[in-house]
Every structure is written in C-alpha cells, then in structure tokens.
Structure 1
Amino acid sequence: MPQPAAATPQLLRRVNAQAVLGIVRGLDVATGTELMAHTGLTRASVIAVCEDLTRRGWIRELDTPPRGPESPGTPRKGRPARRFELNSEAGYVLGIDIGAATTTAAVADLRGTVVARSSEAFRAVDIPAQERIAVVDRACRRALTAAGTHPAKVLAAGAGIAAPVDRDGNVLVTQHFWSLFDVGLRAAFKELHGWTVLLENDANLAALGERWRGSGAGVDDLVVLLAGERLGAGVMESGRLLHGRGGAAGEMGYLDLVEGVGSSDGIASLARQWSTAGGGPQAGGAASARRVFEDAAAGDPAAQQILDRISERMARVIASIASLINPEQVVIGGAVAESAGALLPRISALLPRFTATPPRVTVSPLGDSIVTMGAIRHALDYVEENALELELPTPA
C-alpha cells in the first residue's frame, strides 16, 4: 500500500495560509488571538502567514485602536492585538446567467457582495455563437463599468447556461436547444480578457446559490427546481453537486413518462396554457401567468382551480424526485418563486399521497437572481481554492 507523501514546508505554508484566509474571510475583523484559536497555529505562525497574505494583497492590517485610560496602580497590559480584515476589493468575480432570451451579469467583491449587475437581450434564440458571446460580453463590461472597476480586476467568472454541463465544463449537445449554448465562451473570454470562466448548468448554480444564501442555507441534501417555463433541477447530495456522466443529472425529460404529469412544462407555462384554454387572460408571456395568481388571490374560482391543478402536478413532480433522490428539502426557484408560495400548502398536503419520503418544500427568496448568486458562489469557491496561485491586480 503506498505511503502518503510527506508534508513539505511549501505544502504546510499553503495549508496554513488557506486556513487563516478562510477564517479572515468569515469575520469582519480577526485578531491574532482569534486566528490562533480557530486554526491551532502558534502566534508566530499566524503572524507570519498574515504578513505574507498582506504582502500578496489578500488581507490588510488595521490600525491598532488607542488604549483607554489606565487606573493608577494597574499594571500595563501586553501589546495590543494586531487586527486583520479581508481586502474584499482586491479583486472581483462575475456571476453570469445565460438564458435563451436574456443574459445577466453580476459583479461581486471577495465577500460575495453584489455591487452591480447588467442585463442584455438576445435578438432571437437561435443566433450565431459569436453574436451570443458578444451580447454576454457587453453585459459583463457594462456591469463592471457600473461597479466602477474593469476587466483586469476579475479573478474568475461563473456562468450558468440552460443546458447540461459535465464536470469538465463541456456542454452536452445531444439536443438542438442545448447545442445553442455550446458557443466556446470559456476560450473566447480567456482570449478577450484573460478570465477563467467556470461553465455550469443553470439549475446546478441555482442549487449552489440557494444553499449559500437562500432558504436551503446549509442543507446538504437539497434539490432546487427552476420552475418557470420548463422544469430543471439542481441536485446536491451530501453537500456536493450531482452531475452524472454527461452533466444531465437533474434534467426533467423523464416527466413525460410520469402519470399525471406528462411534460417538463413549468409553473408559468402551465398557468398560461390552462388560463388560455379556459378563456382566461391572454396578455401573453409571464404577464398572463402572473394574472392567474393575482386573480386567484382575489378569489376568482377559475384561477383558483388552475392553481389547484398546478399544485397537484408539482406535488407529483416533487414526489418523483423524492422517490429517486430522497432530499431533505426541495426549493421552487426562479422568477416564478415569488408567486409559487401560494401553491405550497396544497403541495405539502398532497405529497404524502404520492411518496413515502416527502421532503420539506419551500420557495426561494432569491427570485430571478438565484442563478447569478450561484455563479458568484462558484467563482468564489475557485478563487478561495486557488488564492495562493492567483496574482492580484496591482492597485491603480
């Protein structure tokens, strides 16, 4: 049996630096004493690591606060504690949501605080690859300008697309719609700006975003359903994303075969279809779906019946997921989430009829920013893992 490699001084320095940087990142201000307590390192090691991270630009040392007045006869205390904070503006990450009709880019600092965003529309769904890249690039550059920064400050970009993506960032192109997103974005942005682009399925990023800052915060066995026009699921098992061989884990085409479901149409699509079929509002697009929810809230019987039908259908969908994956929680996400809260009581009541393992069902508070939030988290994970190899841009 091979023996584990011996720890080298370089490896130990890397491990210590990542540990200290991780603690500083999670605190507003960290003292040397706090870092010793959290990492188990000696004071000398903590200070040496902090001074190295300060030279690299990842953290900065704060001025020592002035001492208060001392009482007569009270012995003087030791040196004031040195204090450090994350240099959150040392660089930025991008979170990009690339849909069929629009793309949105969000700029976040190294604490994950979104400082600007910008959206652009595609003129059509089926457009040339270079045109799609140009529209995404325009959204990114406008967001960076709004944030008061520039492309050289971007350390990584997470990008979500409406197609399966495998563990290596390759797009599965076995369906024409999926192939529309295989545009060579990673290579194009590396050539244009030198950026590392982390390509991922949009529902997978939604799961990352929801677990980070949504109603599924900290839940290890989690499914997030993007439920607007078509259903797609991001699946987390034991705290890790499931991809499958080609990245198609969470694709919902199997719903064509599920009794009482029959398609992967989402909540907004169903509300619009059934409202139109019943002679209801036909304003078009998301507006008519929103109208169904508004009419149901106002007591309209026809609209309430539509929501009952949608609730039962979603209960069957979630039950099928629960039977296959057994998550602790299923989150309904995307732009439709704000309205979908009206469906939760009936969904939860119906679930025990369809599955012996009903999960907790919630709606996401992140709205239509759920994918960009997950893309930011994905980019931050990359930056945090590779911090010691990344060279921060020189301050202007």
Structure 2
Amino acid sequence: MLDFAWSAGTFTATDAMAATSLTRSTAIDAIDTLASVDILHELPNAREAGSYRSGRPARRFALSSGLGVVIGVDAGDTHLAVTIADPLDRTLVHHRTDLDPQHSPAERRATLLDQLGRALEEAGSSRDAILAICVGVAAPVDRAGVSPPHPDGFWERTNPQLAEALGDWAPVVEVKNDALLAAVAEGSDPRGGAIGCRDYVALLAGERFGGGVVVDGQLLHGAHGGVGEGVVFDHIIGVGSAFGLGYALQDRVRDAIAAGEIAQGGAVGRLADAERVDPEALLALAASADPEALLVASRVGETLARVVGVLGSMYDPAKVIVCGAVAESIEPVLAAARGILPAQLHLPAPELLASALGAEVVSLGAVATARRAAHEHAVPLLAERRLAGR
C-alpha cells in the first residue's frame, strides 16, 4: 500500500484495490493503519471539497506531507551544492557555493557539514527530519561509500570520509560517484536525455572526463565504483589526459596561436590573454560562426570523438550525453565530433547529444537517489517505528 501511495497522489480505497489487487477489507485496513501513524493523510471527502453531489462520498487519502526531508549534495572539486527537498517533488532550499580545491580533507568535510546545517535551518527543518542523504563526489566510491587511495590524494580530498561523517545524520546515507548520479538524472528527470533509453553513458566532461554507465537498464558500478573512471584517457592517443573539455579548448587555442593559425589580437586570441581561456566565451564565438573559434571547436571535436569512441567500444551505448555546465554551449564541438565519430569504432556510433540539465545534473541525480532511498527504506522504517510505538 505504501508503494502504491508513493506515486498515486490523491486516491481512494477503490483506486488502491485496483492497483494492488488487495481485497477491499485488506486495502482499507492497510490504509487505516498507515493513516493512524500519519504516514497517510486523510483528505476532506469529495462532498466537503465541493465536487460531489449525491450518494456516499468516498474517503480520500494521500501520502502525508510531514514525513521529513531528503538531501542531495554535489560535492565537486571546486563547488558544493546542497539541496533540501521533500520526498516527492518539491525543492525547499538549494545553495551552490565555490570551494577552494586546495582545502584539506578536514576543511572540506567541515564546510560540507556546516552548509548542511545552514540549509536545514533555512528550510525550517532539523536533522531528526532527514530521511535520506545522497552525496556525489568526483571520485570512485565503493558500495560502503569509501573511495580508494589516489596517487596524488585527489580522491581522498574530494571524498573525505563523508559516509562516516554523515553516518548518524539519516537512516540512509549514500555517497556516490558524481558521473553515476548524472546518469541517474539523465534517466529519471523529465528533461533528461536518456528517458526510455536502456543503454547510455552520461559523460561529465567540463573539468575532468568521467562516465556514468547504464547497460541493459542497470547502472554499472564495479568493485571500487570505478566504472567510467577517466584515467583511461591518459593513455588514449589524441586525448592524452583525463582533464575535460574546458582544458582541451584552452590548450587548442594556445596551440593554434603558437602555430600562427590564430591571430593574437583577434576575438579568440584575446581570450588567451587571461590566465584561463573562458570556454563559454569561446564556444559562443564558435556558435556565431567565428572561423578561428570553429577551428578550435573542430579540433576539440576530434578529441571528444576519440573519448566517445572508447566509451562506445567498451559499453556499446545507444547514447552518450555530455553533461555539466559545459553542455549548455558545447554544440559546436559536438557537431564536429559527430562527423568523426563513426570512424572511431566498428560498432554503430552512439547518438551524441548535450544534456539539458546544466550545471545541476549531479544535484538532480543526488536528490533523485535520496528520494528513492526514502521510498524504499527510510519511510517503511519510519512506519514500522511509529506502529511499534503506538
């Protein structure tokens, strides 16, 4: 009955019977039991609501609005986004702040815990009300929420023992790889590029390459959470690095200037005067058909085609969806990559497209995962505790 109520909206006992195949007496008993501990809420009947004219009005129910909250966190290398939401469909608070990538693991952990507390206070909630937390990090994560050691300490910094730090905050705490959560978002959000698709890769490609992989409708994980980890691209000729498209655009601009292919005083050349080339500004020039920007986009398209060719050969996806903030302006690079991609693999080339979910794709996946945990684990546990305490 709880599974049915989760997605039913307002319903009657007759609705529940039809959906669950329970007898009328069993359905009513289950409804009354859940209502008695405020897991379900009885609404005014149809006559009181002004939409019923004659006969005995049916009792109407809905999932209680006071079950608690879920939290989704995108803990990137240079940013932290915290979302407090209800278990169904409302976002209560969303904050995104910059992080210093040089912060120690202890500093990052303290910042995250402080931001969680602030967001809860703004939402008018408390730790006691948290049903589930999901945190996305830029590291492989095993099923216990632990990241393996990294040669340079990067994974330990981006996942500073968060599963342990948050363990007593909620009945369910999950720490996941950020690309995996991007794949969740692309497959579950109504705007996602993988709705209805059973085989796809969500490719986080702005700062570093990392893929969330879905095959036969199942998220792939691996013993250490390393499926889709981008270090493989350090060894691919024509890619040479796990650093993402933002760095590739910058490097190709400076290479072209050094080769005399781009004038230093032109629109593209002036972008290289900054400490770091602004990828959005460069891609905006490419979208406006600036020939020098299109030259850069075509060369980065070659790099992306090799990346997608490796993913296509390894996982045979129907789609590869480029995700993250860079996706909002990446179309000139995708257009170049699409022309090159078929030659990069023997299998049919996957469809290559830009995500519509923008910079919040990991946050959306984290909230969706926390809501699923609330549905499948935390709320049933809450119902059991309340029934046991009657």
Settle same-fold status: TM greater than 0.5: yes
- 1:33 matches 2:14: yes
| Shift, 1:370, TM fit | 0.8
Give the 3 Å change call, closer, same or farther, for CA 259–130 of structure 1 in structure 2.
closer
Q: How many residues align?
A: 367
Amino acid at match of 1:264: A
Partners of 2:106 and 2:178 lie apart in 1 by 21
Alignment equivalent of 1:159, drawn from 132, 135, 158: 135
Deviates more, 1:156-165 or 1:258-267: 258-267
Residue equivalent to 2:364: 373
Residues 58 and 345 of structure 1: CA distance in aligned 2, closer, same or farther (over 3 Å): farther
- Structure 1 unaligned runs (5+)? 1-19, 71-75
Name the structure 2 match of 1:183: 160
Kindly report which structure 2 residues correspond to 1:295-314, keeping only aligned pairs within 5 A, or say none: 295-314=285-304
Against the structure 1 CA distance between its residues 116 and 26, is the aligned structure 2 distance closer, same or farther, given a 3 Å change threshold?
same
Deviations 1:59-114 (A, max 9, x none): 212111117786xxxxx74x322222122442110000111122111011111432
Q: Which residue of 1 aligns with 2:260?
A: none
Q: What are the Cα deviations for residues 353-372 of structure 1, in whole angstroms up to 9, with x where unaligned?
A: 22222112222111111111
Aligned in 2, Cα 1:113/1:178: closer, same or farther, shift over 3 Å?
A: same
Match of 1:5 in 2: none
RMSD: 2.4
Q: Secondary structure of the residue that 1:180 maps to in structure 2?
A: helix
Is 1:92 the counterpart of 2:69? The answer is: yes
| In 1, Cα distance between equivalents of 2:238 and 2:145 | 35
Question: Which deviates further from its counterpart, 354-363 or 182-191?
Answer: 182-191
Is residue 75–residue 135 contact of structure 2 (8 Å, CA) maintained in 1?
yes
TM-score, normalised by the number of residues in structure 1: 0.86
Contact preservation (8 Å) 2:200, 2:319: yes
Residues 1:390 and 2:368 aligned together: no
Shift of 1:131: 1.6
SS of 1:190 mapped into structure 2: coil
Aligned with 1:200 (options 131, 152, 176): 176
Equivalent position of 1:150 in the other structure: 126
The 5 A counterparts of 1:349-360 are 349-355=339-345, 356-360=347-351
Instruction: State the match for 1:49 in structure 2.
Output: 30
How far the C-alpha of 1:182 sits from its partner, in A, is 4.0
Tell me, what secondary structure is at the counterpart of 1:299? coil
Q: Distance in 1 between matches of 2:97 and 2:384?
A: 29
Do the aligned partners of 1:94 and 1:105 also contact (CA within 8 Å) in 2?
A: yes
Instruction: Verify the 8 A CA contact 2:286 2:332 in the aligned structure 1.
Output: no
Quote the residue 2:194 is aligned against.
Answer: 216
Q: Are the equivalent residues in 2 in contact too, given 1:155–1:383 (CA < 8 A)?
A: yes
Q: TM-score with structure 2 length normalisation?
A: 0.87
User: Which range moved further: 353-362 or 306-315?
Assistant: 353-362
Which of 214, 226, 241 is 2:219 aligned to?
Answer: 241
SS of the equivalent of 1:389 reads helix
Match of 1:11 in 2: none
Q: Does 1:289 align with 2:270?
A: no
